[in-house]
Structure 1
Amino acid sequence: MRGLALSLLFAGLSGYAVSASSAEPPRTAGAVDLQRYQGTWYELARLPMFFQRNCAQSEAQYQLQEDGSVAVTNRCRTQAGEWQEAKGQAVAQVEGQTDKLWVRFDNWFSNLFPGLTKGDYWVLYLDASYQTALVGNPNLEYLWLLSRTPQVSAQTQAQLLDEARARGYDTSGLIWRTAESAITP
């Protein structure tokens, strides 16, 4: 668990530093109803941050708080079937703008240096029924294809890929969720 916490620390640091590339930041989804967004999201595919290098399956649980922040619980199941978990909080980067959030995970380093360990969480695309989403960061290095279910139709998958490409992401390096039956419990 300490390894996951350290990885999340570095992920926060790397998410904070924006690439010096001249590429335009990706278009976001616009206003996100955080009440509807809360709940469980399953990762379908990712352009990963290094802390996910051993993840076969990942999921996130979001819970809207009274102060408008979002409690975050990320879970990762390794190829060996072991679950790793990290908890954190998301807040709007600009008050009232709900498509661009800062996420900070609870660990010793982020508690010492909270301003240095926050990472971008941009909601790039969200379908009207809040069943699928794309989340990324402004430097186009990280991307997550998310769904309320662990699997989606080929048509939905193609639509998410098209949305990602339209925002400037190279999807050729995506790592797809491992089938649940392939994981040894």
Structure 2
Amino acid sequence: MFSALSLPALRSLMLAAGVAAGALVTPHVQAFGSSSPTLQTVSSVDLQRFQGRWYQIAYYPNTFQRQCVANTTADYRLLMTGQVEVINTCGTADRGTSQVIGAARVKPPKFFGIPVAKGTDTSKLEVRFAPTFLAWLNAVWAPYWVIQLADDYRYAVISEPQQEFLWILSRTPYLDPTDRATINAKLIEQGFDLGRLVEEPQPGPWQ
């Protein structure tokens, strides 16, 4: 989710530090299985409607959410700057809470890697959880693509160009079975492996 708990954060910091990374987002160094067709996003996202709370329903497991065992949520708030504040929270095994705060922006067009204008493709966002003083570095921004979105914004599906990460989000802790069937069918069309999905306890066992 702008996504899973600290995916962009960790990955972005790794890239900024010059560490070879492969992995809640940044541009993957190509081709983990480039035989997949180019991933398509939804036509556009109304960021005003997209803000608010989302519940993680299912996701591809990753190292950035190892501490999370249940109740993972993402809260988005559109700022005056046009960026979106991102607060990801989850429950941990010791019944504590883990939280990370970051920001998202519409991906800006670049010239030789340098942003040259404000982005307009609202379905292709970039997220960072690195400190604000590093925001000028391209490496700390990671792709956050909205690849499925209900007409009334009751559910959303998030991934990135290499399809190594995937999150199914809902406005409520439980997703209607019909909606889930629709999402799954589309994911298969998009080339995702449903067998990798981990279901998220919402709410967790202690709630």
TM-score (norm 1): 0.86
Residues 21-170 of structure 1: pairs in structure 2 closer than 5 A: 21-22=33-34, 23-57=36-70, 58-94=72-108, 95-107=119-131, 111=134, 114-170=137-193
1:41–1:147 Cα contact (<8 Å) kept:
yes
CA distance in 2 between counterparts of 1:7 and 1:139 reads 14
Name the counterpart of 1:173: 196
- Alpha-carbon distance change, 47 to 181 in structure 1, aligned in 2, over 3 angstroms: closer
Structure 1 residue 150: deviation in Å? Answer: 0.8
- Alpha-carbon distance change, 45 to 181 in structure 1, aligned in 2, over 3 angstroms: closer
Higher strand fraction (1 or 2):
1
5+ unaligned residues in a row in structure 2: which ranges? 16-22, 109-118
CA RMSD in angstroms, aligned pairs only: 2.3
| AA partner of residue 26 (structure 2) | Y
- The sequence identity of aligned pairs, in percent, is 31
5+ unaligned residues in a row in structure 1: which ranges? none
Structure 1 residue 165: deviation in Å? Answer: 1.7
CA distance in 2 between counterparts of 1:32 and 1:179 reads 25
Higher helix fraction (1 or 2):
1
Which moved further from structure 2: 125-134 or 85-94?
85-94
CA distance in 2 between counterparts of 1:145 and 1:87 reads 20
Q: Which runs of 4+ in 1 moved over 6 A?
A: none
- Alpha-carbon distance change, 44 to 73 in structure 1, aligned in 2, over 3 angstroms: same
Q: How many residues are paired up? A: 179
| AA partner of residue 28 (structure 1) | T
1:122–1:135 Cα contact (<8 Å) kept:
yes
Structure 1 residue 161: deviation in Å? Answer: 1.3
1:25–1:140 Cα contact (<8 Å) kept:
no
